[in-house]
Structure 1
Amino acid sequence: MLKETREILKEHEAWLSRRMGQNQVIDPSFLKKMIDYANVTERDVVLEIGAGVGNLTLMLAGRARTVIAVEKDEKLVEILRKRLKGRTNVRLLQGDFLDMDLPEFNKIVSNLPYSISSEIMFRLLEFNFDLAVLMFQKEFAERLVAKPGSENYGRLTVNTYYRAEVELLEEVPPTAFFPQPKVSSAIVRLKPRKPPFTVKEEKVFSDVVRALFQHRRQLVRNALLHSFSEIFPGKKMDKSEIRSFLNESLPRKLLETRVVDLTPENFGEIANLITSP
């Protein structure tokens, strides 16, 4: 698969950018594993984000009812049109996944562009689908499943936990890609679910998570004091008023916990208690 990938890139005078995360999987065993992990059948409509040169696309087309392949790079779209010719169950869409309208799908199987993994994850969580099997940089995958208090725990972890179950399935070495990335990758399975805790206003919850993690090493009391205007930009309160409001609204135990040690449920509790200052 490496030889074929090199040849088709050369033929179309195209090149792959490490900086943009355009690392193509050239080990068919890992492509097959991704499809198997997603249990793709002839009933499924599968979305592929960043189809690249089509190595995964072609294998998906052999299993799925329909493949919706999204690719932004014009040269790669040329390659895809040639390689997918005659594949009537593949719908090729040229454009940026982050701002395009999409037809309905029920599964996602993708080797994602590493440079925009966070943006893609936050957009993915807006859609209704059964499951996703995704290839990420290993460090990014570890952030998705990180525990409170750990170095990788952050906004991404909490927002993903609220909306989906995440499994880190398998590590993938750099040698499985062309060009080879400098770090290992990982296959992740994502299953949307009903939120495990209730929030009164999802926007406030999202704003609280984002604002607090800007002060991840601080106590919640101080982090909220510093970021209150970001969470409630329309509220005109001085620091003494904010302190009083926080002391009245939140239990001392929460106020004296470091942001990085809060559980996702704690973030939900904070958001619910300060929803209406």
Structure 2
Amino acid sequence: MGKPDKFPEQSQKQPGKEHKMNPVPEVIRKNYQGSDKLKNKIAFITGGDSGIGRSVAVHFAREGANIAIIYVEENEDAKHTKELVEKEGKQCLLLQGDVKEKKFCKEAIKKCVETYGGVDIVVNNAAVQFPKDNIEDISEEQLHTTFQTNIYPYFHIVKAALPHLKEKGVFINTASVTAYRGSGHLLDYSSTKGAIVTFTRSLAKMLAEKKIRVNGVAPGPIWTPLIPATFNNVSDFGQDTLLGRAGQPSEVAPAYVFLASEDSSYMTGQFLHVNGGELVGA
């Protein structure tokens, strides 16, 4: 599909539904060739029903992995992700629940292990954002929701998954370009993404002796359901990048494949910046 410079006006309520987007995001390039980089691996992905998470699930499946995804309420999107994964000849376990709940995170990992016999790759990806131009407008409730959704589950998921990961296991965490250059209208969101960067670097040091790698991806403006569910005006979304447009999930997911596979065997504690050309610090 083409990659539009501008998007039609549209709006949704959070968490957003991919099947209602115009245009629908590109999940995977037609010419993307899998090469068994993740053959016989088990991948667990939070926020895997749509957007970047869906694209990662389908790319992982094309590379040979069976998939388990967490989603909140987007049943139609989750069902379609399952269909896309199964079209690649792999299995997809759907786990509906709220990652803010520690008990659910633990149960989801347990269900994945019971279903597939283990877990090899964990992708922490689920997130919310609520733009506010002034700090005075960020309520205590919003602050708690953002942190409890965007960073707390990373701790819960890792603690639950770690006993099941063997040597060469992988954690991949989704941060954001806002963690590196800040965002005046996403103060609480960018703060959680900065925390994810530090979490990733610290966890990498903690798990190095276990031969478990921890890396992350810091996307820029990517066309996902979170965008029309967040902003009133999406027509200019992503146009301020060097490439002059927003990215598609299909352009981000291969970075996760790289970090999940042995192609990145000498990398840990690092972030890949898929952001349309914005130069940021390491």
Same fold, TM-score > 0.5, yes or no: no
TM-score normalized with structure 1 length: 0.43
Structure whose residues are more often strand by fraction: 1
Structure whose residues are more often helix by fraction: 1
Which has more radius of gyration? 1
